[in-house]
Amino acid sequence: MKRWIWCMLAMVLALTACGKSEGGQGDPELLLGFSQIGSESAWRVGNTNDILAQAEAYHIGLMFEDAKQKQENQIDAIRRFIAYKVDVIAFSPIVEDGWDNVLLEAKNAGIPVILVDRDISTKEEGLTTCLIGADFYSEGVKAGEYLLRKADSLGLERVNIVEITGTANSTPMRQRQAGFADAVAGDRRIHILESIDGDFIKSRGAECMKILLDKYGDEIDVVYSHNDEMTLGAIPVIEEAGLAPGKDIVVISIDGGQDAIDVLKQGKINCIVECTPRLGKELMETVLRLRNGEAVEKTIHPDEQVFSDEQDLSNLEPRGY
Ligand code: GZL
Per-residue pLDDT reduced to its tens digit, 199-252: 999 999 999 999 999 999 999 999 999 999 999 999 999 999 999 999 999 999
Does residue 4 carry a pLDDT above 90?
Answer: no
Closest by CA position to 46, among listed 253, 279, 301? 279
Size (the chain), residues: 321
Where in the chain are all domains bearing CATH 3.40.50.2300? 2-134+277-303, 136-275
**In terms of Cα–Cα distance, which of 320, 167, 164 is closest to 252?**
164
Q: How far is the CA of 128 from the centre of ligand 1 (A)?
A: 20
Higher pLDDT, 183 or 7: 183
Full 3-state SS string of the chain: CHHHHHHHHHHHHHHHHCCCCCCCCCCCCCEEEEEECCCCCHHHHHHHHHHHHHHHHCCCEEEEEECCCCHHHHHHHHHHHHHCCCCEEEECCCCCCCCHHHHHHHHHCCCCEEEECCCCCCCCCCCCCEEECCCHHHHHHHHHHHHHHHHHHHCCCCEEEEEEECCCCCHHHHHHHHHHHHHHCCCCCEEEEEEEECCCCHHHHHHHHHHHHHHHHHHCCEEEECCHHHHHHHHHHHHHCCCCECCCEEEEEEECCHHHHHHHHCCCCCEEEECCCCCHHHHHHHHHHHHCCCCCCCEECCCCCEEECCCCCCCCCCCCC
Ramachandran angles phi, psi of 317, nearest 5°: -60, 150
- For the chain, how big is the Rg over CA atoms in Å? 21
Q: Assess whether pLDDT exceeds 50 at residue 280.
A: yes
Q: What is the pLDDT of residues 93-151, one digit of tens each?
A: 999 999 999 999 999 999 999 999 999 999 999 999 999 999 999 999 999 999 999 99
Q: Is the pLDDT assigned to residue 2 strictly greater than 80?
A: no
Residue 16: pLDDT band (50, 70, 90) is very low
Per DSSP bridges, beta strands 190-197 and 113-116 are unpaired
Identify the residue with better confidence: 157 or 4.
157
Domain 136-275 sits in CATH 3.40.50.2300:
yes
Q: What pTM, to 2 d.p., does this model score? A: 0.90
HSE-CB at 312 with a 13 A cutoff on CA atoms is 2
**Is the predicted pLDDT of residue 24 greater than 50, yes or no?**
no
Atom of ligand 1 nearest to the CA of 117: 6
From 255, 279, 282, 300, mutation site for ligand 1 pocket: most ligand atoms within 8 A of C-beta: 255
Locate the ligand 1 atom nearest the alpha carbon of residue 200 and give its number: 12
| Cα–Cα separations (whole angstroms), residue 288 to 18, 29, 160 | 23, 11, 49
Expressed in angstroms and rounded, the spacing between residue 241 Cα and the centre of ligand 1 is 28
Query: What average pLDDT score do residues 82-102 get?
Result: 98
The pairing of strands 306-308 and 271-274 is antiparallel
Confidence check: pLDDT of 171 > 60: yes
What separation in Å is there between the alpha carbon of 238 and the centre of ligand 1?
A: 23
In terms of Cα–Cα distance, which of 241, 230, 245 is closest to 164? 230
Are the C-beta atoms of 222 and 250 separated by less than 8 Å?
Answer: yes
Is domain 2-134+277-303 classified as CATH 3.40.50.2300?
yes
**In this predicted model, which residue has the larger pLDDT, 78 or 5?**
78
- Banded model confidence at residue 72, pLDDT cuts 50, 70, 90: very high
Q: Mean pLDDT, to the nearest integer, of 32-46?
A: 97
Angle at 299 between CA 113 and CA 138, to 5 degrees: 130
Confidence of residue 1 (pLDDT cuts 50, 70, 90): very low
To the nearest whole number, what is the mean pLDDT of the chain? 92
The residues lining ligand 1, judged by C-beta closer than 6 Å to any ligand atom, are 40-41, 43-44, 117-118, 133-134, 172, 200, 227, 229, 254-255, 275
Q: What is the pLDDT of residue 28?
A: 57
Does the pLDDT of residue 12 top 60, yes or no? no
Question: Bigger pLDDT: 91 or 28?
Answer: 91
- The predicted pLDDT at position 29 comes to 80
